[in-house]
Structure 1
């Protein structure tokens, strides 16, 4: 019996050591204010809890996936759109900054073309293994699909090995056909096209979490948006984190 216990301990010790020595996956959350984690700025009546990034941190940690969030955006703690700390008196329950895990490239109000102008430099600076791309709601228009495809081309031209998970984006409080069509393009055209080119790319459906009736894209629940317009509540950010986790796990399993 004692020998069995010793063997179990040795096996556990080796597995822990292997996990500790495993190179962390460098994950770049990339996008706009939703990636930065805004809720109802600039009032900040809904507490800032790091958006989907804090619950994703928890999920990745529980899944024993070594990782590092990368990116050098200072938002929202730079108070560009209000002060989420209310003068340094309120901080997130899980403070990613204190954990050294506050890396991201989320910028409030940014559109696809603004990301396009900066992405090559960011990739060189941040060196991500996986990009979580959630962009398009700002300035959404019929040209957005082509803008997104151009952005993906630039990403892969800069780093052909990087893996990308493209989100079917979250909605406004009222149904917009142009946004729904954009998500359809991502799922049915964009991702399959880049897969055929040999790229590691996939998609997660974040739009679905905001629907009262899953099969009805017009059944958007306004209560799931903290500002009543486009920013998710913290509860919805948690659902988004679960979708991201599943996308990340699928990539890791394949590699």
Structure 2
């Protein structure tokens, strides 16, 4: 009879060789998620030198990790960013976005929607409660068109003194709309704005960083839940 170790070692060598050639879970290609940046001129990137606004710093932050990748989607293309797709319409109000959302979603088929909208309504004198009602209708339509979509809402950026109260009232209402993950906009300083409405590159960097943090929380939770939409009220930490 051959000694036991003479039988075992060749077998172990074969198993080790096979294991070394088998891709591990850590080396697997990360999932790519379709993200629709939706809104007005801030989504478009007005005020940034790249013309991409928050979309570039968000892209860069995602590219620096290995848990997921992003595919921006939308009918528009703009900015110095590897993926230029978006749905940011300069000067548009909530109702104008609502009128087009069905066709956009049918084409884009996003997993996530990053929604920032409403400042143009308020700037043109809309009542904050009425604007928030239109916002809620837009959100409901997105869920109807794309069941299971994950919406991340960023509140309006505190802006000129003449709109501070309206912005605060609007944000207080939209943060209670059922479904989306609500994210407070960073409190940008005057040095992070190019005018009373639009951030500069530094301001967009802070917005992109905040969105990256929340998007990553939501995507990790979705993966852990077996690719099911996670609860939107994920504890911060």
TM-score range, shorter chain: 0.7 to 0.9
**Is 1:209–2:197 an aligned residue pair?**
no
**Distance 1:11-1:106 versus aligned 2 partners, 3 A rule:** farther
**Is 1:119–2:119 an aligned residue pair?**
no
Distance in 2, Cα, partners of 1:145 & 1:202: 16
Would you say how many aligned residue pairs link Structure 1 and Structure 2? 200
Larger Rg: 2
35, 47, 54: which one aligns with 2:43: 35
**Is 1:166–2:153 an aligned residue pair?**
yes
Aligned to 2:28: 18
**Post-superposition offset of 1:27:** 0.4
**Is 1:102–2:53 an aligned residue pair?**
no
RMSD over equivalenced CA pairs, Å: 2.3
**Post-superposition offset of 1:209:** 2.6
**Is 1:73–2:76 an aligned residue pair?**
yes
Taking structure 1 as the reference length, the TM-score comes to 0.72
Taking structure 2 as the reference length, the TM-score comes to 0.77
1:106-128 C-alpha deviation (Å, 9 max, x unpaired): 01001100000000110000000
> Is the CA contact 2:136–2:174 (under 8 Å) kept in the aligned structure 1?
no
**Post-superposition offset of 1:246:** 1.4
192, 201, 214: which one aligns with 1:224: 192
Distance in 1, Cα, partners of 2:145 & 2:219: 22
Distance in 1, Cα, partners of 2:134 & 2:155: 15
SS at match of 1:176: helix
Q: Which runs of 5+ in 2 are unaligned?
A: 1-12, 223-237
**Post-superposition offset of 1:159:** 1.1
141, 145, 149: which one aligns with 2:132: 145
Q: Which runs of 5+ in 1 are unaligned?
A: 40-45, 78-94, 196-200, 211-220
Aligned to 1:213: none
**Distance 1:11-1:209 versus aligned 2 partners, 3 A rule:** farther
Distance in 2, Cα, partners of 1:30 & 1:11: 43
Distance in 1, Cα, partners of 2:23 & 2:51: 34
Point out 4+ residue stretches in structure 1 off by more than 3 angstroms. Answer: 9-17
Distance in 2, Cα, partners of 1:169 & 1:10: 51
Aligned to 2:166: 178
SS at match of 1:18: coil
**Post-superposition offset of 1:166:** 0.8
> Is the CA contact 2:32–2:71 (under 8 Å) kept in the aligned structure 1?
yes
